[in-house]
Amino acid sequence: MYPQAEISDLPWEPTLTDPLSPTVVADDAPWLALVVGNSRLHWAAFWGEQILGLWHTPHLSEAQAQGLIQDTFAPSAWAALAADFGLRSWPWEVGPSEGSLWDGPGFSPPPPLWLASVVQNQGQIWHTYDRCVAVTTENVPLGNRYATLGVDRALALVGAGDVWGWPVLVVDGGTALTLTAGVAGDLVGGALWPGLRAQFRALHDYTDGLPLVSPAFGGAVNTPVVSPWTTTLPPRWATTTAEAMVSGVVYGQLAGLRDFIADWRQIHTQGRVVFTGGDGPALAAALITQIPAWEAFIQVEAALTFWGLRVCRRGWG
């Protein structure tokens, strides 16, 4: 559980120097983290080693990003951005509950922004911020990594190892479902296949007549609603087209995960399995529903990539 701290309650008087200097890792300094994902931007605010809260935004235009940068991420800039999308002000998520994270006047002086991106055009627009620290896979302290390993996967694995210990397997239920395994700070390997939404999108886009189904948040578009499966698994033997799509994708996804996790645990009997990403909690809950004993070694952690950025920040410079 993340601290229910309010930014306005904190002493905004740290002295920060150039973001590439080791002094930027001072334990009494505020900083922001941004992980650019395939579908959304993932944000976190830190005070030294302590995470204050997480929130998410859609991908932004260059003009929207410049508005945040020019106002040094002050409350008014987030309010204007939220208005663009017809939403309430960001940030609003504090740990597991909702609340106002930015009630004070904002950061003074402007905070460093630690950035990791898997989408080039979305990542590049933040480089104009003079306190942006761009982290690439090469900067992540992970042994045995290969050249094309995504920075998000590397950060999540290092973050999981730092918090939960090694050996560890990270399951990221995002646009792509990724498995990334490591032992003693080294990458062992992993796997990738389409995430839940990508599979549903493919069924809709590459067939004639199949609906676009949402797997967990209210069912199908222009079809009868499919029951959410975040707490209850869907019917395996479906009697409607939309439910059959949900059954095939969900149970197929779970079968693949069971196979990989069983193999991992056979090799590393003490290894943790940590789920993250938008579908991570639902996938973990579904697997535990199927195999209750797995609850002993499965964890769910939304902040894995941010834990990885924190590790990078410790050793920067």
pTM equals 0.82
Same domain, 209 and 170: yes
Count how many domains the chain has.
2
Mean pLDDT of 190-202: 93
Indicate whether 34 belongs to any domain: yes
User: CATH code at 268?
Assistant: 3.30.420.40
Q: Of 134, 154, 185, which one is at a domain's C-terminal end?
A: 134
Indicate whether 159 belongs to any domain: yes
Could you read off the pLDDT of 145-182 as tens digits, one per residue?
A: 999 999 999 999 999 999 999 999 999 998 899 999 99
Same domain, 107 and 149: no
Same domain, 179 and 295: yes
Residue 237 has pLDDT above 80, yes or no: yes
Q: Where are the beta strands (DSSP E) in 184-308?
A: 186-194, 212-213, 220-221, 272-276, 298-300
User: Nearest 5 degrees, angle CA 189-CA 145-CA 18?
Assistant: 135
Q: What is the mean pLDDT of the chain?
A: 81
Q: What is the three-class DSSP state of 311?
A: helix
Catalytic residue among 18, 152, 208, 279: 152
Same domain, 107 and 154: no
Cα 165 from chain centre: 19
Same domain, 238 and 285: yes
Same domain, 90 and 23: yes
Q: Of 134, 156, 181, which one is at a domain's C-terminal end?
A: 134
As a whole number of angstroms, the distance between CA 52 and CA 100 comes to 11
Could you read off the pLDDT of 73-106 as tens digits, one per residue?
A: 887 788 788 888 877 656 644 333 333 444 445 5
Residue 280 has pLDDT above 60, yes or no: yes
As a whole number of angstroms, the distance between CA 254 and CA 283 comes to 7
Indicate whether 78 belongs to any domain: yes
Same domain, 83 and 130: yes
Percentage of the chain lying above the pLDDT 70 cut: 79
Q: Provide the residue range defining the domain that includes 31.
A: 7-134
152 counts as catalytic: yes
Q: Of 134, 165, 191, which one is at a domain's C-terminal end?
A: 134
DSSP string, 102-120: --SS--SSPPPEEEEESSH
Same domain, 100 and 183: no
Same domain, 171 and 281: yes
CA distances from residue 117 to 30, 60, 102, 126, 196 in whole angstroms, order as listed:
21, 13, 24, 10, 22
Same domain, 247 and 122: no
- pLDDT score at 90: 62
Is 301 within 8 Å of 163 (Cβ atoms)? yes
Could you read off the pLDDT of 14-53 as tens digits, one per residue?
A: 222 233 333 445 566 789 999 998 888 999 988 889 888 8
Same domain, 221 and 264: yes
Confidence of residue 140 (pLDDT cuts 50, 70, 90): very high
Same domain, 82 and 153: no
